[in-house]
Structure 1
């Protein structure tokens, strides 16, 4: 049996698309017969503390390491832990999930040990790290020295080719469990009433960790615009990043009545709960400024939501404007509220066609089975004859 060391900054039960995708990929790798050890960092442990492994099943263990305040302490300490693990388990390959810090550390450690490495570009890895205060040289070194590179979208793969000069980047699309994320409601599912949503209110939805790059100011402006015309609320399925809460507080001082119609669920326990909240949304909004390929948008489409998104990152690869959703140029996101009102005014027959086309798109291109096939191709290149 082949053994893989999987390094990721976030892993379940952590928040966000990075944790979701990493957790899902590791589960699929395990199903492919790969023994996987996950190493992830935690802000909730003492600096340098290493918890005993969480044994998920016979092929999967999770090691959590307490973060130091700065990476110049965290990195060398993590290398010590990786060396200890490798001496015990003799890995055949190392996977870095996200280009920094995980991808760099995976590539460096694998080089020191003489084993294969792969890095996975998932979100705004490139857009963030190539500009100050990101480290361009470290980013480029990682891309040039790892054996296998995967990108979550064709858009990102193109940027990696430009940066690294390599033409062997594999596109490993995000995937959705289409049985959980489906339009059909489950008996006993959460109701609008339980969240304090009035019967006549339109529900504008957003899922994930709300922050600047996700277009939070445009969401707030859209809520104001829509509520000027009709009753509405903004349902944030997830949390607001701590350093962005001041934006909501300022909005509350300027628009106190509108701010009262922002409902924040907090971290939800599992994916069925996320799906149940998505099904409450009349319109799902993804006004991102930077993106890879947002899990939340794919999940909303799978649930049959009517989606309005920006044209950031890989979003144009999944949304065909007017056919399975609506897309806005990032330069026009100040008109998001007007777009929502136009969407709400559509005849129900056209809306049904669009939402069905959205789900069909996910079934055709972003299913778990398709991800498994793509993942198998990655593993065969990384660790030949392993599956």
Structure 2
């Protein structure tokens, strides 16, 4: 079976979700190709087909690229005609149609059984490609697609929902929200959650230190709820709790977060480390006591999975799919979002628990990660997805 996966760029070493999926399919005889806008030449895991480039600052190169696309599509005139007909049926302008032909030229020549868009946003303006190349169409639902982009662009997926053959979601939360956005209950779907490479994890059953070491990994973005987290920690500081808080990640909200740290009097307690490699990040899990993910919403959150796998006690919000990731009072603690006082109370409760009770939480969390979020299980469910 031939599967084409559409992404913006080739996966990096840390993007285990896509890498393990590709390896698992290849191991069982699937032929996998990636269709990307940006290609890293060091990526050798499977065949990569790059989209035509845009040369905004060089008209000569742009004209040359247009002619290359024309020659590439000449043997596929019937497909091209069918694509134009389908685009005209939904009243797309000729300008948009020509743009869509150019952007999708690398896929319009493909011979595939499945065309799988790794993000719902990647399928926009490409909704007719799978039908034209006589392939089934799949799409993956992720947090940004459903929680953020769909709010900024109402009804953006209305055509996609009509064309898709099967949906992959990383959580029940995202699937349910997609249905609220118009996805039909009749469309086939599979919930295939993120997975972790268990060989990289060595759970540490530690005794809480003083000061307590808190950790969060994620973009510096409003949806991660970092301001609420800082406000909760300021409450703990007033109560006399000694702690250090490390935030790993970069993003657009760096300045508001730095300002909040200063205003809340947490300059000595909080460290913003910026972006770190996956290997370095795993190292911080081993020296952290409590992992906090107090996001407003999450599609699932790999970092929380990794934190549990590494033996951190996890306190998360009830935003999005986080309650599917952490089972309240079994593998961690789930706190209503946007409420720093409740978060502060929950963190203090965790700190004061007897060490044997903390150990049980760690044991439960690690056991669940091993049983429910292994790469082998993920690979198996993806094979079943296409079959």
TM range (shorter): 0.7 to 0.9
Counterpart residue number, 2:139: 119
Per-residue deviation at 1:65?
A: 7.5
What pairs up with 1:61-72 in 2 under 5 angstroms? Answer: 61=48, 63=50
**Residue 80, structure 1, aligned to residue 91, structure 2:** no
Q: How many residues align?
A: 344
| Counterparts in 2 of 1:295 and 1:334: CA distance versus 1, 3 Å | same
Per-residue deviation at 1:351?
A: 0.2
Question: Contact (CA 8 Å) 2:228, 2:338: kept in 1 or not?
Answer: no
Q: Secondary structure at the match of 2:274?
A: coil
Per-residue deviation at 1:361?
A: 1.2
Question: Contact (CA 8 Å) 1:308, 1:325: kept in 2 or not?
Answer: yes
| Counterparts in 2 of 1:274 and 1:170: CA distance versus 1, 3 Å | same
Q: Quick one: distance in 1 between partners of 2:96 and 2:18?
A: 20
**Residue 97, structure 1, aligned to residue 118, structure 2:** yes
Q: Quick one: distance in 2 between partners of 1:287 and 1:175?
A: 21
| Counterparts in 2 of 1:369 and 1:144: CA distance versus 1, 3 Å | same
2:246 to 230, 235, 238: 235
Q: Secondary structure at the match of 1:312?
A: coil
User: What are structure 2's unaligned runs of at least 5 residues?
Assistant: 57-92
Counterpart residue number, 1:301: 308
Q: Quick one: distance in 2 between partners of 1:34 and 1:75?
A: 32
User: What are structure 1's unaligned runs of at least 5 residues?
Assistant: 43-50, 186-198, 381-387
Question: Contact (CA 8 Å) 2:112, 2:133: kept in 1 or not?
Answer: no
Counterpart residue number, 1:48: none
Q: Quick one: distance in 1 between partners of 2:10 and 2:22?
A: 10
Per-residue deviation at 1:124?
A: 4.1
Question: Contact (CA 8 Å) 1:283, 1:307: kept in 2 or not?
Answer: yes
Q: Secondary structure at the match of 1:264?
A: strand
**Residue 244, structure 1, aligned to residue 266, structure 2:** no
Question: Contact (CA 8 Å) 1:251, 1:259: kept in 2 or not?
Answer: no
1:341 to 334, 348, 355: 348
Per-residue deviation at 1:66?
A: 6.7
Q: Quick one: distance in 2 between partners of 1:181 and 1:378?
A: 27
| Counterparts in 2 of 1:214 and 1:78: CA distance versus 1, 3 Å | farther
| Counterparts in 2 of 1:200 and 1:218: CA distance versus 1, 3 Å | same
CA RMSD of aligned residues (A): 3.1
What pairs up with 1:1-387 in 2 under 5 angstroms? Answer: 2-9=1-8, 11-13=10-12, 19-41=15-37, 53-57=41-45, 59-61=46-48, 63=50, 79-80=101-102, 82-84=104-106, 86-87=108-109, 89-100=110-121, 102-131=122-151, 133-136=152-155, 138-162=156-180, 163-167=182-186, 168-184=188-204, 200-228=210-238, 229-237=240-248, 239-241=249-251, 243-255=252-264, 258-270=266-278, 272-380=279-387
Q: Quick one: distance in 2 between partners of 1:4 and 1:75?
A: 25
| Counterparts in 2 of 1:372 and 1:333: CA distance versus 1, 3 Å | farther
Question: Contact (CA 8 Å) 2:316, 2:322: kept in 1 or not?
Answer: yes
Question: Contact (CA 8 Å) 1:3, 1:35: kept in 2 or not?
Answer: yes
* TM-score, length basis structure 1: 0.78
CA distances 1:235-255 after superposition (whole Å, capped 9, x unpaired): 123x221x2012123124414
Bigger Cα displacement from structure 2, 22-31 vs 225-234: 22-31
Q: Quick one: distance in 2 between partners of 1:235 and 1:82?
A: 42
Counterpart residue number, 1:46: none
Bigger Cα displacement from structure 2, 113-122 vs 315-324: 315-324
Question: Contact (CA 8 Å) 1:287, 1:309: kept in 2 or not?
Answer: yes
| Counterparts in 2 of 1:106 and 1:300: CA distance versus 1, 3 Å | farther
Per-residue deviation at 1:326?
A: 0.3
Question: Contact (CA 8 Å) 1:153, 1:292: kept in 2 or not?
Answer: yes
Per-residue deviation at 1:68?
A: 9.0
| Counterparts in 2 of 1:120 and 1:76: CA distance versus 1, 3 Å | farther
| Counterparts in 2 of 1:74 and 1:182: CA distance versus 1, 3 Å | farther
Question: Contact (CA 8 Å) 1:222, 1:336: kept in 2 or not?
Answer: yes
Per-residue deviation at 1:10?
A: 5.7
| Counterparts in 2 of 1:255 and 1:52: CA distance versus 1, 3 Å | closer
Question: Contact (CA 8 Å) 2:51, 2:103: kept in 1 or not?
Answer: no
* TM-score, length basis structure 2: 0.78
Per-residue deviation at 1:347?
A: 0.6
Question: Contact (CA 8 Å) 1:4, 1:34: kept in 2 or not?
Answer: yes
